[in-house]
Structure 1
Amino acid sequence: MYKFRKNLKSVSTPREAVSNRPLPAVRGLSLTLFSPTATSHPTVTAMFPHWMQFISSDMVNIVETQALIDGHIRAFPCCRRGFSHPECDPIDIPTADPAFRGRLTCLPHARTMVAPKLGCALGPREQANMVSSYLDGSVIYGSNPERAKQMRSFSQGALRTYTSAGELPQADASIKCQVEGRCFLSGSDDANILPGVTALHTVFIKQHNRIARLLREQNRHWPDARLFEETRRVVSAQLQHITYNEFLPILVGRENIKKYGLSLHESGFDSDYDMSIDAAVLNEFAVTFPYVLWSLLPKDPLFTQFNNPSKLFEIRGVEIVLKHLLTTTIAKPALRVNDEVKDEFLKDQFMLGLDLIAIALKRGRDHGVPGYTAVRAQCGLGKVRSFHELKEYFIHDPKVEYINTIYENVDDIDLLVGVLAEQPLKGALFGPTMACIAGKQFQRTRRGDRFW
């Protein structure tokens, strides 16, 4: 992954405050700034953040550094007493933490897996992206040969399905699941993260098989491999079309669609591929886009059922879930998430979960991503020189006023905090900095893909 500009004091250490002191503790930021209070958006539905999660998994998969423990690849036990490793960067829990008090002193967290730089050049630490970066349908089909093989039926170009349950994705017992034996296999490891996301995977797997049947009827001589690959091209194009025609105008606004050249032709072919453009994911995108979507989810039981797609096994379950997404409006972007996201995310059998906001803030610092004011300036939006100036750009929220008491310097503000606190652009869901990050990324994604 690549950055607008590095912001590291060395080639490897995480970002620090301007004063060279540690930045505010991420769990403290999560508790102080992010509340569950929400203001409903008048028009945008819950399908939007679920689609955001769906395509995020197609473009970004950040994995913590792991180790071979007892013959298996496992996460570092960074909170285990006596365990120490330079890649461990655990999340400290305050003594009076309302959710973990008396149960935990830290949440396990390791630094992101390192990736070699292009040409094995020397320089600042880069992070591995475990998916292709292209918007190519890998969320459905997988990003490696092993997963792709698991997904295929090797008959008539189709993907495997669990037909006795109404053509659902195939079950996978190896996945960590809240309901034993009831999680599904798809191209992404995040396919079961929310029931609505699993429903989208189901729709596209069924769409693949529907198109494969149509192509087979018209091309009886095509072998299985040809049917599969041609169908995948069609489905991937549909994924791209929905994202650029329907999703991005809501995210960044029509003006930024024009500014970054993101509009698609109504017919014919695009011819703006540029071989000099690297379609790799920007780190600013990787540490904001997959996380800001969680601020959009209102308080709703369906939006806190992590790794629990049991709703889809009910009669007409997929239809019911999709209808719910299309009839429930989102929360307006703000410094907010549901309590379950920061206290019970992916909770285990001991009912202990993670704090997704704290993890996101840790990753931004680990990756050396510049703070909010630096990225804003790099986007050509002007330099913010004091906390007082933020009143002009940030939403009017009592929590926002805490920012100048938490951070030492305005340049210390984490990027994720800044983009969620920004006032939205007219006709867009987010503010100018998030629109810039997304605009630049989706411009690279399109123009740097020779198979677009």
Structure 2
Amino acid sequence: MSIITEARQLVDATYLQARKSLKRKLEEKIVNPMDFLKHLKDPIGRTRSAVRAADYLETTLKLLIKEMLLYRVSLADLLSRRQKEMISKGTGCDYQTRSIKCPERDFYRTITGECNNRNHSHLGSSNRAFARWLPAVYEDGVSVPRGASEGKRYNGFPLPLVRKVSNEIAHTANENVTADRQLSLVFMQWGQWVNHDIDLAPASGEGASLELQCHTSCAFKPPCFPIKFPPDDPRELSSDTCMPFVQSASVCSPSTFRREQLNAATSFIDASTVYGSDDALARSLRNLSSQLGLMAVNQLFRDAGLELLPFENTTHSVCVLTNRSANIPCFKAGDKRVTENLGLSAMHTLFVREHNRLARELRKLNPHWDGEKLYQESRKIVIAINQIITYRDYLPLLLAEETSKWIPLYSGYNEKVDPRASNVFSLAFRFGHTSVQPFVSRLNESFQPLCSSSHVPLHLTFCAPWRIVMEGGIDPLIRGMVVDHAKLMKQNQLLIEELQNHLFEQTEVMGLDLGAMNMQRGRDHGLPGYNAWRGFCGLSQPQTVEELSEVLGNPKLAKKFMNVYGTPYNIDLWIGAVAEPVVPQGRVGPLLSCIIGTQFRNLRDGDRFWWENLGVFTSQQLQALRKISVSRVICDNTHIRKIPRDAIHHFHHTLFPASSFQANGKSLKIQPVLDLGIVSSKDIIS
């Protein structure tokens, strides 16, 4: 008990120091790229309590090991059942892992995702561990990420630095980007939107401050797992400089003590991006001042008469620092990452408006409904819209002919299916980073550049909500996303310079490297390597450079991989998966098709409230729902008057009167308007 008390005091002191340190930095207006990232991944509400309990548990175990001078591996065996229960109670883990009794009848999903599965109430709910499809691989078998000890060999070779892999295999110059002829930037943005609905691995609570390690030392001292620079790095740096990296928060696992990461979002596609995954947050996002079932909106600013997202109620907001004179704080939404980029903020705004539009329409039809009923019914429709667009419009473009293999026709809810987001999916779905363009375009009503600064480098739009409030709202951004092509994922063009060297480089020059972070995150999460996942998916596991060049269809790239890793078994999942040639007509390779397809099938079949499941909607409602589209949602909630009927497909410039304008620095000739496939505001789909 004294050790548990000591552990709690240590963790509480660290948390307090973390908050003070961030507050001081914000007051002094000195922040670095890591602070922006921390803000987006900082645990809040119930997540914070869950993370803190797991930190109490981990610290207790470390202190016990010190006392007993034993290895942690054997600790689980040495403690009696009663001692384990004591630790679980004393750290608050028993409260985090308790099971709850579900109500006899329910019409709506819970905000937390609990009780979706009535027999296992926690499946798919927020603040629980990710599912593991293959056992975790840690250096010590328990929690130390692979690559934490220098020179340690795996399959006969040391693991390369992730930054070295990023430099040699992932890096693409901003000027050297191939556009995806078929797909607009809406495709990339929808991927991020749906991903944020499914998973969020918050940063470790302790990691909120330990700058002394994460910024100034290159040593692995949990929760700091810094990214080292190779000696030949193009950035000229001193040898002791590292890119800071904070481990993902772990979850209470009092029976095994093996490190598992926490998913702060509900796994289900339930628009938790809009409504939150935590009851207290969900309430704070609503307008409870009237019985109208509305979501709260910004009280200070409007977007040409239309609603904007509310601001966070913090006196010192990190977003203010991206433009001090504008003094605009971060937006507040169901997901903390809302202000990460402008396209994402636009999606959030669109769906909060759609909720409120539906609530007002439903009230006209059912004046007797109270605010709770209006809120829940509107929420139910918004969730269905997100499910339909994802499965009908988005996934078939991503997986092409692999779609039906992994996601067969729907045959109803199956309570035996585990709907939890898997740890590997949380990494694999980051393939979308390879379809991001280096510039953000904003266009006016005539689809001409909005102003001299309509073409902004991506890194100047991170955490910059002032650009929405002060520079024309969300319409110009949406027009830009419809007109711009997604970036094509090519083997020699994986990650643009903006993301590989300038991530969150708003106020300080040391930008982060998203590719390196993805690989470091895979190691942090104990994910097995590329070949293990190929095996999991029933694909061949290349052993030699010849076999790897056959899998990649590219001998030169295979050689690069072998030079860096020594063996295909050591290749990090993210880089191996995005380097595969895509399946015919699709946008990802065979390994990603398997992981993504399997995950989306589980999310659908294990969801009792899935929109097509019997009894969720009436047949009349189903008919109406089938008519929705991204374009419909845009037309109903913006001042945009003309848009392609299918906004995800690129429309090859058939939308506007003949004219030319600059895009990506090139003058484009635009063909005269064609009526085919265009939704105008007069062509209302009710």
Partner of 2:503: 345
Give yes or no for contact 1:375–1:433 (8 Å, CA) kept in 2: yes
Name the CA distance, whole Å, in 2 between partners of 1:397 and 1:134.
Answer: 40
Q: Which moved more, 1:186-195 or 1:338-347?
A: 338-347
Instruction: Provide the rounded CA distance (Å) in 2 between the counterparts of 1:184 and 1:400.
Output: 44
1:325 matched residue in structure 2? 481
Q: Does residue 14 of structure 1 match 2:145? A: yes
* 1:38–1:331 contact (8 Å) kept in structure 2: yes
Q: Is the 8 A contact 1:343 1:354 kept in 2?
A: yes
1:163-209 deviation per Cα after TM superposition (whole angstroms, max 9, x unaligned): 64221111226453123324311111111111111111111011000
Q: Which structure has the higher relative contact order (CA within 8 Å, separation 6+)?
A: 1
Paired letter, 1:52: G
- Aligned-partner Cα distance in 1 for 2:187–2:337: 17
Q: What is the aligned partner in structure 2 of residue 257 from structure 1?
A: 403
Instruction: Tell me, in whole angstroms, the C-alpha distance in 2 between the residues paired with 1:272 and 1:345.
Output: 42
CA drift at 1:365: 1.1
Aligned to 1:152: 286
Give the stretch that moved more between structures: 203-212 or 24-33.
24-33
Is 1:176 aligned to residue 334 of structure 2?
no
Kindly name which structure, 1 or 2, has the bigger radius of gyration based on alpha carbons: 2
The normalised TM-score by structure 2 is 0.60
Residue 313 (structure 1) shift: 2.7
SS class of match (1:288): helix
Contact 1:194 1:308 in 2 (8 A): yes
- The residue number in structure 2 matching 1:272 is 412
Tell me which of 109, 131, 134 is aligned to 1:2.
131
Query: Kindly tell me: are residues 224 and 444 of structure 1, through their superposed partners in 2, closer, same or farther at Cα, counting changes over 3 Å?
Result: same
Change (3 A) 1:201 1:151: same
Mapped partners of 1:356, 1:213: distance in 2? 41
Aligned residue number for residue 268 of structure 1: none
* Deviation digits for residues 362-397 of structure 1 (CA, Å, limit 9, x no counterpart): 111121212111111210122222222122221548
| Alignment of 1:128 onto 2:268 | no
- Listed one character per residue, the Cα deviations across residues 213-245 of structure 1 (whole Å, up to 9, x for unaligned) are 011111112111111111111101100110000
Counterpart of 1:365? Answer: 523
**Which structure 1 residue ranges, 5 or more long, are not aligned?**
265-270
Q: Is the 8 A contact 2:402 2:593 kept in 1?
A: yes
2:214 aligned residue (79, 84, 92): 79
SS of the residue aligned with 1:168? coil
Show the 5 A alignment for 1:40-59: 40-59=179-198
1:63 to 195, 202, 212: 202
- Which of residues 94, 105, 111 in structure 1 aligns to 2:247? 111
Q: Deviations over 1:332-384 (max 9, x none)?
A: 21352121212221235333322211111011112121211111121012222
SS in 1 for 2:180: strand
- 2:378 pairs with 1:231: yes
Deviation per CA, 1:71-127, whole angstroms, max 9, x where unpaired? xx646653344797333211112355334625970122232211234xx54264211
Matched residue, 1:138: 272
Give ranges in structure 2 of 5+ residues lacking alignment. 1-129, 148-152, 440-455, 611-686
| Bigger Cα displacement from structure 2, 201-210 vs 345-354 | 345-354
The aligned length equals 438
Which amino acid is the alignment partner of residue 15 of structure 1?
Answer: R
2:171/2:500 contact within 8 Å kept: no
Equivalent in 358, 375, 395 of residue 533 of structure 2:
375
Q: Secondary structure at the match of 1:42?
A: strand
Residue 146 to residue 97, structure 1, CA distance change in 2 (3 Å):
farther
What is residue 57 of structure 2 aligned with on the other side?
none
Give the conservation status (yes or no) of the 8 Å contact 1:244–1:262: no
Contact 2:462 2:506 in 1 (8 A): no
Distance 1:134 1:76 in 2: 35
- Partner letter of residue 258 of structure 1? S
One-letter amino acid matched to 1:233: K
Conserved 8 A contact 2:216-2:242: no
Q: CA 1:84–1:247 in structure 2 vs 1: closer, same or farther (change >3 Å)?
A: closer
How many angstroms apart in 2 are the aligned matches of 1:219 and 1:102? 67
- Normalising by structure 1, we get a TM-score of 0.90
Aligned partners of 2:170 and 2:575 also within 8 Å: no
Cα RMSD of the aligned pairs, angstroms, is 2.4
Alignment of 1:26-45 (within 5 A): 26-36=162-172, 37-45=176-184
Deviation at 1:249? 0.4
Aligned to 1:101: 237
